[in-house]
Amino acid sequence: MDMKGKHVAITGPTAGIGKASALELARRGAQLTLLCRNPAKGEQLRDEVVAAGGLAPHVILMDMSELDSVRKAAAQCLALGQPLDVLLNNAGVVNLKRKETVDGFEETLAVNHFAPFLLTGLLLPQLLQAPAPRIVNVASAAHEFVRSMGLDDMQAERKYSVFTVYGRSKLANILFTRTLSQRLADKPITVNCLHPGAVATSLGRQNPGVLGKILPLFLKPFFLSPEQGAATSLYLCCSDEVAQVSGEYFARSALKQARPWARDDAAAEELWAYTEKALDFTFFGPAGAR
């Protein structure tokens, strides 16, 4: 699909599948808003997009580990005064050891679930100004590592396992997608999520020392290129084939059935309630879209 005249906001756009997605969307004519943690990398990507003949993107600073930063970035995005056609929640983190954010939350859950939940809720009015908006959440087959969200220890205070914590954060992406699509069923908007494949990205490199180098090397034999990994994100952002599809999970640009625990509506509602309480944010509050 040609993306001329479309406004697309992307989290985590300066590396890996986020960067590959951003560059391809720009090639297709989209006006991008780059939500970046690193200002230098954001400006560098802006220059790359322009050099490739794309429209000059908006660059907005956002640290997804800080909820105030997410709120400020959303306010700046709204202040652009442009309807938002696509929100691509792409950014993610994996930590080998437990870390807490400035808000006191376990960082993997905060970055991978809380931040996109909050950002999506804040940008929903802007999305609903577009004629056929789409929300695309990058999840992962890592949800297969777990069988529940583990609400009794969501912050991994009693036990921290990198595969469990990361898997739960990706399970949260799928459950969030499912619930949000149901709550927006009466709106002209779609919400879908995807497994990009094991992709050669910078994921995990923020871990210090040797550990930060070992994790990507451990996964490397299974890696796709960032361009290959971005294919399903681009499919959900652009394809006419999914214009009427919502609440689904995709892999390799095809519908895929997630594990049963990722299709549990009761668990999805529990997670939604937990998240709103933790963030002190009501998705469809007085200033919301519904």
Domains defined for the chain, CATH in brackets: 7-196+226-279 (3.40.50.720)
DSSP lists the bridge partners of residue 136 as: 88, 192
Q: What is the model's pLDDT at position 217?
A: 55
CB atoms within 10 A of CB 172: 27
> Taking each helix axis from N to C terminus, what angle separates 162-183 and 265-279, rounded to the nearest 10 degrees?
100
Q: What is the model's pLDDT at position 219?
A: 53
Tell me the whole-structure pTM to 2 decimals: 0.91
Cα–Cα nearest to 146, from 229, 18, 267: 267
Q: What is the model's pLDDT at position 287?
A: 41
**Catalytic residue numbers?**
166
Instruction: Burial-class residue 240 by CB neighbours within 10 Å (0-12, 13-18, 19+).
Output: exposed
Mean pLDDT by 10 residues, the chain (290 residues): 95 96 97 97 97 96 98 98 98 96 98 98 98 98 94 96 96 98 97 84 51 56 73 97 98 96 96 97 65
Distance between CA atoms of residues 91 and 282, nearest Å: 22
**E strand spans, the chain:** 7-11, 31-36, 58-61, 86-89, 134-138, 190-195, 249-251, 254-255
Q: What is the model's pLDDT at position 152?
A: 94
| Helix, strand, coil percent values for the chain (each to nearest 5) | 45, 15, 40
Q: What is the model's pLDDT at position 225?
A: 81
